Structure 1
Amino acid sequence: MKKVFRIVLIVFFIGLFLGTIGFLYNKSQEKPEMYDTKSPEITDIIKKTVATGSVIPRKEIKIKPQGVSGIVETLFVQPGQMLKKGDKIAKIKIIPDMINLNSAESRVERAQINFEDAQINYNRDKLLYEKKVISESDFQKPRLAYRSAQEELKSAKDNLQLIKEGVTSKSGAVTNTIIRSTIEGMILDIPVKEGYSVIQSNTFNEGTTVAIVADMGEMIFQGKVDETEVGKIKQGMNLKLTIGAIEDYKFNAHLEYISPKGVAENGAIQFEIKASVELDKDHFIRSGYSANAEIVLDKREKVLALNESLLEFSNDSSFVNIETAPQVFEKRFVKTGLSDGINIEILDGISKDDKIKGEKMSKIEQMKEMKRKKDEEKKNKKKSNS
């Protein structure tokens, strides 16, 4: 009995030893890796570039004082108001230069003295002429001097009034102290307030901007394109404009200008572009809205395409791994076409039904895949038995 017990015990330990070795061996063996598979699909490939910029009015005018400097006495308008050409914007109160004012007043006094003297001579000679004491030719000289003195006095007074008020009695309603709009449009901004000093625009001075007026019925997109893309675009191309402030709507635009000169910005050469925007009556575009313009460079419709991440490269060739049996893959070279950065056109090498090796599955995904295959095998057995 003891001998039998001893034999059983020895067999048990030998079995335990062999089982342990087998377990450790199986554990040391690498489990086969499983990969996800994807198939090509028929889709559209659109290669495009994006230009960033803003939407601005085509006509934006800065209104400045012409021929007059002074203080803003009255503002007749406010930002957002619509104007017609010639409408009043502001009235300027002139602060006369003391030297010019003193000279003009002195001129008026001299003209008054000369006029009074000429008037005395004229009245005296006129009485003599009426009594036929002097001839008409003798009377013509004092009469001419009187009229000249009269005109000089009037001119001196007008000049004094012009220096003080910026308007003369001859000009009537026409005066440069009233700033008027030069175009029809909307007031975007009024940089000055009542009481602000303004300077006239002339050859030596840009002048103070009283108002900014723009035609909001004609807007353009102004943006920048990188030098790597500017050679692929041309005038007349259609753009899709996305404005950050207007969600879920894209405006159509047409490229009409590409700058011939680039500008260095942040280490890259940028070229300015302009495109006319097709406005929509249901959406009001404000000046300065930031926008992105999508420019379609090339397009392929309904072609066989594959995710670029599934491609592998060797020298100048590209290839994919085709599944020939479950988790068994074979290298196959392909010919590619247009790419949009995500999907790439497949010209030759694979078909729509091929399964392409993808990313490595995680343990959870592998377990799900194994369960799916087992379920499929059970279904197939039931079908065959039935």
Structure 2
Amino acid sequence: MKIIIGVIVGFVVLAIGGLAIAGFVFRDHMTFLASAPRATEVRVETVAARELIESVPAPGEIEPNTKVDISATVVAEIVALPFREGDLVKKGDVVVRLDDRELTARLLGAQASLESTKANLESVRASRARTQAQLLEQQARHKGVLTTLEFAEKNLQRKRELHDSGDIPLAELETAQERVREVLAQIDASNMLIAAAESSLQAADAQILQAEAAVRQGEAEIRLAEEALRNTIIASPIDGKVTKLNAEVGERVVTGTMNNPGTVIMTIADLSRMKMIARVAEADVAKLQTGQKARVTIETYRDTVFHGVVDRIALQRTTANDGTGFFETEIMLRLDGREIRSGHVANVEIEIATHTGIVVPSQAVVERAVEDLPIEVVENNPHVDRNKKTIRVAYRVVDGKAVATPVRVGPSDLTHTLVLGGLDAGDVIVTGPYKVLDKIRHDERVVDLTTLPRKPASGAAAGGSTGGSAS
């Protein structure tokens, strides 16, 4: 019995000793783990060769390719608006009717005035005709008087010869002389009558010219009145949709120039053909040409990328309010039957070239000071310009560590960059998070966060199942 008790006591002592030794070993192991640096959680990506489309980004707005502002050219009251905002209209549809009573009265007045002016013209022409007839009659009489003068002068000559020869008395000679004087007086009176008739004729011609001018003016006033009357009915010049209505029935419209906002009654736009008016930076405009493909994103339609082509590039630089220069560029959109509204803010990527090579996320390439990198990283590296203080690097993951790797980069799009040297297909690089990339250092231990177990969501009930994974 004593032997059995001794054996049991011995086993207990050995067990206690073993546990003590195991406790010391576990404590030393945990102390080692606590003192080792913790690996940084990162996102990684395997480098591969693929296609990158180089593009020029630009902001802008969406507008209809065809849009017309309907304005009045006469001052009148609106009596009918057959279409409301959002209604479809066809070319030729009457979209505005104005009160035409005042303009109709004006036309009737112009027509009456023209009739009076024409009557006056006919009266002046008739008066001239009478004056012309009187002149011709007087000229005919004048010719008769001249003939009489010629006969009287010949008769006087004969009387002188007969008187000189003593064949007639002096009284007959004096009678012949008196006759010549009478005829000369008649000629003077005839000349005065002819001059007066010619003067009256000239005055009549002037009156005719004035009357004819008055007739032409009256006819022009009638044409203007007729045009104004026609303008009380306004038709749509295009097929489209009423996108804005600024007036109501009963309001009095005013006329203006260049479609000032206060004079526009409504706006009609063809929403089946839309374009983006992009503001391309001055430094990028030389890379553009008509026909280039473009991808347009609109905040309102986040899930849709609209494709289009460059249709027009402005020749004149435009200056923004902040003094920066840009060139307006029109991109015609392919809607594929979809209707979008006018005025949306949009962004465009205009494709200017296509490249094939090593393509990585742009944020994976970071700037580092040359002096902050180990000498083995920068020395004799063809992608390091020792004349510059900073270089571009990507961090390759090698044996669980981030290795700073100088790279030479090429063109990029909004999210990715073409790497021309420094990386090979199959390399694994750190691509995020951005706050980690901003601070990560050469030879730092890293771990792919996608390989870590998901953390339970905060606030999960005790004993319950875990929620979603951490973001």
Say whether 1:249 aligns with 2:304. yes
Match of residue 81 from structure 1: 88
- Against the structure 1 CA distance between its residues 310 and 31, is the aligned structure 2 distance closer, same or farther, given a 3 Å change threshold? farther
Q: Percent identity?
A: 18
| RMSD over aligned Cα atoms | 5.2
Find the counterpart in structure 1 of residue 411 from structure 2: 338
- Distance in 1 separating the partners of 2:262 and 2:405: 72
Structure 2 CA distance for partners of 1:286 and 1:357, relative to 1, 3 Å: closer
1:278 is aligned to 2:334: yes
CA drift of 1:275 comes to 1.4
The residue number in structure 1 matching 2:295 is 240
**Residue deviations 1:35-83 (CA, integer Å, cap 9, x gap):** 66764333443443432222222222222333x3221222233232312
Letter in 2 for 1:337: G
* 1:134-173 alignment runs, 5 A limit: none
Superposed displacement of residue 88, structure 1: 5.2
Corresponding position: 1:229 with 2:235: no
1:166-181 residue pairs with structure 2 within 5 A? 175-181=229-235
Shift of 1:309: 5.1
Aligned partner of 1:269 among 325, 333, 338 = 325
Most deviating of 251-260 and 33-42: 33-42
Deviation track 1:236-257 (CA, whole Å, cap 9, x = no partner) reads 2111122334453222211122
How far apart, in 1, do the equivalents of 2:401 and 2:256 lie? 81
| Residue aligning to 2:160 | none
2:424 aligned to 351, 356, 364, which one? Answer: 351
Find the counterpart in structure 2 of residue 61 from structure 1: 68
Is residue 2:273 matched to residue 1:218? yes
1:85 Cα offset (Å) = 2.8
Distance in 2 (CA, whole Å) between partners of 1:323 and 1:76 is: 70
The answer for the alignment partner of 2:48 in structure 1 is 41
Q: Would you say how many aligned residue pairs link Structure 1 and Structure 2? A: 301
Matched, 1:52 2:59: yes
Cα 1:227–1:33, aligned 2, differ >3 Å: closer, same or farther? farther
Residues 175-214 of structure 1 mapped to structure 2, 5 A cutoff: 175-181=229-235, 183-186=237-240, 187-200=242-255, 208-214=263-269
Name the TM-score, length of structure 2 as normaliser: 0.49
Counterpart amino acid of 2:84? Answer: Q
TM-score scaled by structure 1? 0.57
Q: Tell me how far apart the structure 2 counterparts of residues 257 and 199 of structure 1 sit (CA, whole Å).
A: 35
Structure 2 residue 358 is matched with structure 1 residue 304: yes
| Structure 1 gaps, min length 5 | 1-18, 119-151, 370-386
What secondary structure, in the 3-state scheme, does the structure 1 residue paired with 2:318 have? strand
Distance 1:202 1:287, change over 3 A: closer
Q: For 1:329 and 1:88, how far apart are their aligned partners in 2? A: 70
> How far apart, CA to CA, are the structure 2 residues paired with 1:226 and 1:278?
24
Q: Give distance in 1, aligned partners of 2:291 and 2:50.
A: 27
8 Å contact kept, 1:254–1:275: yes
Distance in 2 between the 1:206 and 1:329 partners? 62
- Between structure 1 and structure 2, the one with the greater Rg is 2
Instruction: Flag the structure with higher helix content.
Output: 2
Distance 1:238 1:364, change over 3 A: closer
Q: Which has the higher strand share?
A: 1
Where in structure 2 are there 5+ consecutive unaligned residues? 1-23, 124-211, 371-388, 437-443, 454-471
Cα deviation for residue 198 of structure 1 reads 1.9
